[in-house]
Chains A and B, each alone.
Chain A
Amino acid sequence: MRLKQNIVITETGFVFDSDTGDSYSTNPVGMELLEKLRAQMEMEEITAYMTGKYDVEPLQFQRYFDDFVIMLRHFNLMEEPE
């Protein structure tokens, strides 16, 4: 599970896909998750990190994370598995 390499993320939550020219906006938690995905962190690691930092239950976080990843796939921002 990895974010496409060409995706640009700015400090203000602006996300740009240089392949398609499409741009997106995300919130601070979304930005943090994008960085973790870019770093190829696994879901378990991300969950542990986020639930340690933020006041959120692991199951609740996973629900939100799943939905976030569905949207990333829908927007073609994730590397497809070979």
Chain B
Amino acid sequence: MEKLKFERPVISRINAGIPDKFGMKTHIIPVTQIDGIPVKDILDRYGSPVYVISEKTVRSVYQEALHAFTTRYPKIQFAWSYKTNYLNAVCRIYHQEGSWAEVVSGFEYDKAIENGVPGNKIIFNGPDKSAEDLKKAIENGSLIHIDHSDELYDCIKIAKAEGKKAKVAIRVNMDTGIYPQWDRFGFNYENGEAWNAINKIMPEENLELTGLHTHIGTYIMTPSAYAVATSKLALLAVRIEKKYSHHIRYIDLGGGFASKNTLKGAYLPGTDTCPSFDDYAEAITNALNNSDIEYEHMPALFLETGRALIDDAGCILGTVLANKRLANGRRSLIIDIGVNLLFTSFWYEHNIAPAQFHQDDYEDTTIYGPLCMNIDVIRAAIMFPSLNKGDHVVISRTGAYNMTQWLQFITYRPRVVLINMKGEAEMIREQETNQTMNMLDVVPGHLKNKDE
């Protein structure tokens, strides 16, 4: 006689009167494939865990953002935020799409050059630019966004010594009506520091003030904050026109657009609350179009959007290591993706889905990573079905910051795979090995073994 299909036995307490906040049953749809390739096939071929990036999504989200702005304002230039994801393949997709490079360190600057970005299409932000970095940027005609007055004086000194005219912008921080107000980047608008910096730059023969920049914050849920920032920068541009008869070539609104991830503590999911590119574009371009800048001298609008462009395109695939019951009976799941690989799990409630069809027995579950650390919690509480050891999971919207902020801790960082436009998987970053890690270590002679 044929045996019956087995279903895992479950028992759960009935808590009358406490439905979930939406009064609906939890149901997680399994993610069995990425851009047409079965998750299992990717894991079998590249190991577990593995990061996957969809080229199709990278390009389509970029086009969506570009469309939102170019249909509202004629001069738009995106600059890919290298710190968000500086895998060379990823950067090159954005450059192919027409994006410039926005870098914040000498390391990123060199990466952009190696990725084929012309020097005059690199925006150099960040508070740490060495004399060597500045010299290189001046020689290449890059756009140097000055962060503080020490850097301003460095620029004056180096440009003079090189006999070049450095293209500079100032970074401006300001009150845009949001909390917290980021005041650590650049010169303050309200207390007059920004204007003081402009007054120092304008008479300098070796500096050309090409733009005005601001980076008001990150994961900004309020498009109107960008409208305030745009208006304030436009007002500065008008004052510069009036006092120096100098026309600013661009206004750069930095980054900070929210992705659809859900922040920890948020009541509603990010997919419901995150503004669209159209919302941001409407706020920014309206403020610019309605400013007092002369029509024939309207500046280009630069955007350094990172998170909102790449987050949806990335996911990490992993494997269940174990199931456990905690002391209070709560179900917990251990997966091979830890906080070392998923840095964003410190601030997001990431979407996690099984990669195979599962039994419909949802239970409040804590999902841990594999690290021998108490803080290694991927989701503290999620209604999740029971999975078996060896089953696979997919954590989506992980394209931003994880592949730059990941930590090498107790094991190797995994491979990264790109699913190209033809739907084929290609490895774009190899897994670290013991050799990768040891090549940087130096053992002093008296600690060496005899046979070394």
Please report A residues at the B interface, Cβ cutoff 8 Å: 15, 22-30, 32-33, 50, 52-56, 60-61, 63-65, 67-68, 70-72, 74-75
Complex CA gap A81/B216 in Å reads: 64
Please report B residues at the A interface, Cβ cutoff 8 Å: 3-14, 323, 325, 328-329, 361, 388
Complex CA gap A75/B12 in Å reads: 9
Residue of B nearest to A74 (CB): B329
**A53 vs chain B, min Cβ distance (A):** 6
With A67-B325, A70-B329, A71-B329 as contacts: A30 and B6 at CB distance below 8 Å: no
Would you call A30 and B3 a contact (CB within 8 A)?
Answer: no
With A67-B323, A71-B329 as contacts: A26 and B9 at CB distance below 8 Å: yes
With A27-B361, A67-B325 as contacts: A72 and B6 at CB distance below 8 Å: no
Would you call B3 and A27 a contact (CB within 8 A)?
Answer: no
Q: A26-B11, A72-B11 are in contact. List 14 more A-B contacts (CB 8 A).
A: A24-B12, A24-B13, A26-B9, A26-B12, A27-B361, A28-B7, A52-B3, A56-B6, A68-B9, A68-B11, A71-B11, A71-B325, A74-B329, A75-B329
Q: B residues within 8 A CB of A56?
A: 6
**A59 vs chain B, min Cβ distance (A):** 11
Option from A22, A29, A55, A60 in Cβ contact (under 8 Å) with B9: A29
Shortest beta-carbon contacts, A-B, top 6: A74-B329, A56-B6, A54-B6, A30-B9, A55-B3, A26-B11
Q: A residues within 8 A CB of B13?
A: 22-24, 75
Q: A residues within 8 A CB of B328?
A: 74
Complex CA gap A82/B11 in Å reads: 25
Q: B residues within 8 A CB of A54?
A: 3-6
Would you call A29 and B7 a contact (CB within 8 A)?
Answer: yes
Complex CA gap A60/B391 in Å reads: 14
Residue of A nearest to B4 (CB): A54
Q: Can you sample 23 A-B contacts with CB below 8 Å?
A: A24-B11, A24-B12, A25-B11, A25-B14, A26-B9, A26-B11, A27-B7, A27-B10, A30-B10, A32-B9, A33-B9, A53-B3, A54-B4, A55-B3, A56-B6, A60-B388, A61-B6, A63-B323, A64-B9, A65-B9, A71-B11, A71-B329, A74-B325
Would you call A26 and B10 a contact (CB within 8 A)?
Answer: yes
Complex CA gap A23/B14 in Å reads: 6
With A25-B12, A25-B14, A75-B13 as contacts: A55 and B6 at CB distance below 8 Å: yes
Residue of B nearest to A56 (CB): B6
**B6 vs chain A, min Cβ distance (A):** 4
